[in-house]
Structure 1
Amino acid sequence: MSADDWKQKCRDQWGLQGVPMPDGVDWRSVHATKPLGRNLLRNPAPHGLTHTSPPPEPELTGVPSHEPPRFEPEGDFTGWTTSTEVLPEDGSGVPPGAVVCYLPEYSWFSMEQLVDLKAQGLWEELLDDFQPDILVQDWYEESQVDDTIYQLQVKLLGADRQTVISEHTVKPTENLSVYSHTWKEVSHVFSGYGPGVRYVHFLHRLKNKFMVEFFPTLVTGSSVIVRPSRSGR
């Protein structure tokens, strides 16, 4: 197939009528990469779970392990850069003179990825002139660990990986008075964000608790999807 044939194949596959499609792009590679409409994040379910099934109920023994406190969940975090922030113990609610065997210890477990949009097969004219919608989605477990258990920060970055062209941050508060152990969806669509976007930085933080046993907050279905369409004009 010729270069023009591959260009036409890409145009037909994604319905790119009216979208800039310059001759200098390797359209055969673009077609093989399939950058539009697919999840650009690696390993979107590091705990091996799906939001179409209820999150697992914790299997608790109630017996202290006498091991050092645990602050990180188990999982396969291939493709993610992870870090842990252990929060100081808070004994402010303990009455004077009270004997306390255990205080809850909390930690934030962070997972982040940097998506190189050009390396994924997208081209500059598409990103700068057409500015397709970039959909971000995530599902976190309503774990009842604390009133703040999840945070999401997504940035659209320039070629230097430092310049923030657009940003979306989510910091929900949970209702601990009602037990509703389910998945909660978080989503956002970037549109009309301006020229220069080359990277997407995706970071979410999950709060865990250790008190006799380990209580994690799980996440699944993380995604960054570039749509072959645009809105918000």
Structure 2
Amino acid sequence: LQMADWKQKCNSEWQLAAKGVPLPNNVDWKTVYEKKPLERNLLKNPSPHGLTPDIPPPEREVTGIPPDPNLPQQHEPTGDFTGWSTSNERLPMDTSGVPPGVVVCYWPNYSWFSMEQRVDLKAEGLWDELLDKFQPDISIEDWYEESQLHASIYELHVKLLAADGKTMIKEYKCAPTEDLEVYSHNWKQVSHVFSGYGPGVRYVHFNHKVKNKFMVEFFGTMVTGSSVVIKATKSNP
């Protein structure tokens, strides 16, 4: 096939010309067609615990059995985090509510577990004119477990970055507060659409973190269904 044929295949796949998307001749349309960068999730391994948001998270069995004292305490969740950069932040214990002289056998140890990825939009097959002139919607979605561990169990921070990988063009932050008065154990959805963000975006940096607790046993907060999707449309005319 000639490059013009690949360009036509891309146009047919996403109806680009009809939407006003620039289709310059200097783009490698064969690569674009093969990589199919539009309307698909660009995050790797979006569900590291092997769960999906359409099925409620599994109920956790509390054994109440103290772990082997010879083994290190667990402060990080188990899962396959391939494709994610992970880090763990142990939080200081808040003993302000303990009266003087009271001995506490077990006290909750909280920690933040962060998972982040950086999506290289050009490497995924997107082209400059699309990103700079058309500025397609960038749709973000994530689901986190109502773990009931704390009023603050989840945070999301997504940044649109320039070609240097550092300069931030737009960002979205989400740090919800949980209602612990009513027991609920489902997945909670977080979503955002970047539109009309201006020229120069080349990377999407996706970072979410969940709060975990260790008290006798490990109690985690899980995430699933994380996604970064470049749409073939835009909200802003």
* TM-score of the two chains, using structure 2 as the length reference: 0.97
Gaps of 5+ in 1: none
Secondary structure of 2:179's counterpart equals coil
2:87 aligned residue: 83
2:41 aligned residue: 39
Of 52-61 and 73-82, the range deviating more from structure 2: 52-61
2:9 aligned residue: 9
1:63 aligned residue: 65
* 1:200 paired to 2:200: no
Separation in 1, partners of 2:2, 2:72: 63
Of 14-23 and 166-175, the range deviating more from structure 2: 14-23
1:164 aligned residue: 168
Which residue identity is paired with 1:6?
W
Which residue identity is paired with 2:9?
K
Secondary structure of 2:103's counterpart equals coil
Q: CA deviation at 1:53?
A: 0.4
Aligned length: 233
Separation in 2, partners of 1:118, 1:4: 20
Separation in 2, partners of 1:33, 1:159: 20
2:22 aligned residue: 20
After superposing on structure 2, the runs of 4+ consecutive aligned residues of structure 1 that deviate more than 4 Å are none
Q: In the TM superposition, what whole-angstrom CA distance separates every residue of 1:2-51 from its partner, at most 9, and x where no partner exists?
A: 11111011011001022101111110110000000000000000000000
Separation in 1, partners of 2:176, 2:43: 23
Separation in 2, partners of 1:70, 1:149: 17
Gaps of 5+ in 2: none
Q: CA deviation at 1:90?
A: 1.1
Which residue identity is paired with 1:12?
S
Separation in 2, partners of 1:161, 1:134: 17
Q: CA deviation at 1:99?
A: 2.1
Cα RMSD, aligned residues only: 0.8
Q: 1:179 aligns with which of 183, 186, 201?
A: 183
| Residue identity (%) | 66
* 1:130 paired to 2:129: no
Secondary structure of 2:66's counterpart equals coil
1:49 aligned residue: 51
